[in-house]
Amino acid sequence: MSDGSNDLLSRLQQLQSRFTWDLQGKDLDLENLSTRLQEHIDLQLGSSSALARTFSFLAYVRYLQGQPEMGLPLLSQAEQKIRECHGGESERRLIVAYGDLAWFKYHTGDQTEAHAYCQKVQDILSKHPTGSPAVLHPEVYGEKAWTYFKFSRSYYPEAIDLFLKALELQPDDSEWNAGYAIALYRTEERVTETPENVEDSPVVRQLRRALEINPDDGVLLTILALKQKACGNHQEAEGLVERALKIAPDNPHVMRYIGKYLRIQGENDRSIDLLKRALKKSPSAFIHHQLGMSYKKMKISEQMCRPSNRQKVQEWRRQSIHHLEEALKMKPLFFLALADLALMVGEERDFSRAEELFKHGLEMLPKLSEKSLCQVFYQRYGDFHFYHTISEAHAITNYIQVVQMTPNTWEWKQGAKNLKKIAERRLKEDEDDGQAYALLAQVAKAEGHKKKAEDLYEKALDCDKNNTEYLSALCELRLELQ
């Protein structure tokens, strides 16, 4: 390589660009990502500034797909959008776009143009210094944050850190505030909410902050509605949904969140209608999953109200399975859809296929970036054995995993409830069942009742004096109680 080429490569590597951000998503599906980005452009979703970012990001994805010739026109459109949106204040917004253009020109063999774009970036940085080489412009932090957020779930923590850095420098920017709110919502632990704790949660505080700056953001309104609904603030939730529908009645992202809201509300018919409309506008794995869950609720409602109508129950179940399968076709690494599908297939009594799906899920568990999904998976697997295969030992194994994870989630409560059912039934049959007492002890410990757990382990040892597992658990509890 010539000295000129070495110098160019060195300059390129110092640029802030998607080519230098080491984007390597473990759970990445390039085809799915490019489809989603293209839909954002086709449907003109988001502000002009957000669309410019989408053009740039899609250009990079086209490069990853081996289609750099399709990427260059997209970057030109991104530059045009930035100039239209920000006018005389465009320069700092162009730092990343020009960095990407420099790399594109380099990879397509146009070293002269690559040098020219490197120089354009240098000119902007000289004109707008940050005061320290270690500090980036807020526009760069924000662009990088959105890229990480949309690229892969595994990058969510980094995206949150970058949004915070952008907000430290531009606290009132609507895009960074919205991005931070949505990223917090996506990574939030699935715990039971109450009116007392929800307003103090970082997610709700940030949603309200973002809506102060941009009160007409339909996506933020629907996410906040879901939070308020979860903790019982029904009146506010309804008002937020009505506002979102007036502001953005055709936005597929708004429709899918409202569809989820209506399903939780129990309005399954309305939820399905809205989700189907959203699906026509923007086919997505998320919408198929929500439809699968809505049909599941229809099935449960039918079972409760008209248990003899087996044909209708089966119809709703099969509709649910169909949409869950479609979600996985579109996004093979959609872990939650996989767990839900496995349980529904088990309910159809196709045990071999259900086991195959659950085993596939077990293989995916170590790679999950969102650890709360592990709890969901084990709860679904436990339910499969508890309700369908009637394999108590396997149900116990999975439910124990559930109660050892985040407390007070819906899954945690289900796992604890069913472990108690198993233990109490066994004690009715045999009051000297040591394992039943040990199960109740594990649940008591998970609930924070350590003294009660100690007493139960003592009963377990009375029934099975030489059980080292019970003895070890009891010794550990006594140390914690000292």
Q: What is the pLDDT of residue 431?
A: 95
Same domain, 25 and 67: yes
Instruction: Count the neighbouring beta carbons within 10 Å of the beta carbon of residue 75.
Output: 23
**Short-list 347, 336, 341, 314, CA closest to 325:** 341
Q: What is the pLDDT of residue 367?
A: 80
CATH number reported for the structural domain that contains residue 379 in this entry: 1.25.40
Q: What is the pLDDT of residues 254-287, one digit of tens each?
A: 998 999 999 988 899 999 999 999 999 888 899 9
Instruction: Count the neighbouring beta carbons within 10 Å of the beta carbon of residue 89.
Output: 10
Q: What is the pLDDT of residue 250?
A: 86
Q: How far apart are CA 54 and CA 2, in angstroms?
A: 35
Same domain, 52 and 122: yes
Q: What is the pLDDT of residue 46?
A: 82
Q: What is the pLDDT of residues 226-240, one digit of tens each?
A: 999 988 899 999 999
Same domain, 413 and 444: no
The CA-atom distances, in angstroms, between 13 and each of 3, 10, 96, 99, 188 are: 15, 5, 13, 10, 35
Q: What is the pLDDT of residue 445?
A: 93
Q: Does some domain include residue 326? A: no
C-beta of residue 256 within 8 angstroms of C-beta of residue 290: yes
C-beta of residue 95 within 8 angstroms of C-beta of residue 125: yes
Q: How far apart are CA 423 and CA 417, in angstroms?
A: 10
pLDDT band of 29, cuts 50, 70, 90: confident
Q: Where are the beta strands (DSSP E) in 271-382?
A: none
End residue of a domain, out of 128, 156, 188: 128
Q: What is the pLDDT of residue 352?
A: 97
pLDDT band of 369, cuts 50, 70, 90: low
Q: How far apart are CA 426 and CA 267, in angstroms?
A: 39
pLDDT band of 340, cuts 50, 70, 90: very high
Q: How far apart are CA 60 and CA 72, in angstroms?
A: 9
The CA-atom distances, in angstroms, between 89 and each of 29, 49, 83, 139, 147 are: 35, 12, 8, 11, 22
Q: Does some domain include residue 286? A: no
Residues spanned by the domain of 475: 430-482
Coil, strand, or helix at residue 134?
coil
Q: Rounded mean pLDDT of 401-429?
A: 95
The CA-atom distances, in angstroms, between 330 and each of 30, 32, 184, 283, 339 are: 11, 7, 25, 9, 16
Q: What is the pLDDT of residue 327?
A: 96
Q: Does some domain include residue 198? A: no
Q: What is the dihedral of CA 211, 215, 219, 224, to 10 degrees?
A: 50
Q: What is the pLDDT of residues 2-12, one digit of tens each?
A: 556 789 999 99
Reply yes or no on whether the pLDDT at 26 is more than 70: no
DSSP class of 407: T
Contacts of 152 (CB under 8 A, 6+ apart): 23, 25, 26, 27, 28, 369
Q: What is the pLDDT of residue 282?
A: 85
Q: What is the pLDDT of residue 196?
A: 58
**Short-list 185, 219, 189, CA closest to 205:** 185
Q: What is the pLDDT of residue 35?
A: 87
**Short-list 341, 375, 335, 372, CA closest to 355:** 341
* Count: domains in the chain: 3
Q: Does some domain include residue 137? A: no
Alpha carbons within 13 A on the beta-carbon side of 252: 22
Which residue shows structure tokens 């053009």?
55
> What are φ and ψ of residue 250, in 5° steps?
-110, 5
DSSP class of 387: I
Which residue shows structure tokens 């879901």?
226
Q: Does some domain include residue 302? A: no
Q: How far apart are CA 151 and CA 147, in angstroms?
A: 6
Q: What is the pLDDT of residue 370?
A: 74
C-beta of residue 435 within 8 angstroms of C-beta of residue 426: yes
Q: What is the pLDDT of residue 195?
A: 57
Reply yes or no on whether the pLDDT at 308 is more than 80: no
**Short-list 270, 329, 336, CA closest to 297:** 270
**pLDDT, mean over the chain:** 92
CATH number reported for the structural domain that contains residue 46 in this entry: 1.25.40.10
Concatenating the DSSP letter of every residue in 227-290 gives: HHHHTT-HHHHHHHHHHHHHH-TT-HHHHHHHHHHHHHHT-HHHHHHHHHHHHHHS--HHHHHH
C-beta of residue 163 within 8 angstroms of C-beta of residue 183: yes
Q: What is the pLDDT of residues 382-395, one digit of tens each?
A: 999 999 999 999 99
Coil, strand, or helix at residue 431?
coil
Q: How far apart are CA 280 and CA 270, in angstroms?
A: 16
pLDDT band of 40, cuts 50, 70, 90: confident
End residue of a domain, out of 83, 106, 128: 128
Residue 216 token pair: 């007409």
Same domain, 20 and 46: yes
Same domain, 28 and 73: yes
Q: What is the pLDDT of residue 300?
A: 92
Same domain, 59 and 90: yes
Same domain, 355 and 442: no
Q: What is the pLDDT of residue 192?
A: 52
Q: Does some domain include residue 278? A: no
Which residue shows structure tokens 């690229």?
151
Which residue shows structure tokens 């436990």?
382
**How far out from the chain centre does Cα 398 lie?**
23
Q: What is the pLDDT of residue 310?
A: 87
Q: Does some domain include residue 298? A: no
Same domain, 14 and 124: yes
C-beta of residue 296 within 8 angstroms of C-beta of residue 344: yes
> What are φ and ψ of residue 193, in 5° steps?
-105, 150
Q: Does some domain include residue 121? A: yes
Q: What is the pLDDT of residue 187?
A: 87
**Side chain identity at residue 188, one-letter code:** E
In angstroms, the first-to-last Cα distance of the chain is: 69
Q: What is the pLDDT of residues 90-149, one digit of tens each?
A: 999 999 999 999 999 999 999 999 999 999 999 999 999 998 888 999 999 999 999 999
Q: How far apart are CA 82 and CA 302, in angstroms?
A: 52
What is the percent of the chain with per-residue pLDDT over 70, rounded to a whole number? Answer: 96
End residue of a domain, out of 128, 163, 190: 128
Q: What is the pLDDT of residues 316-328, one digit of tens each?
A: 999 999 999 999 9
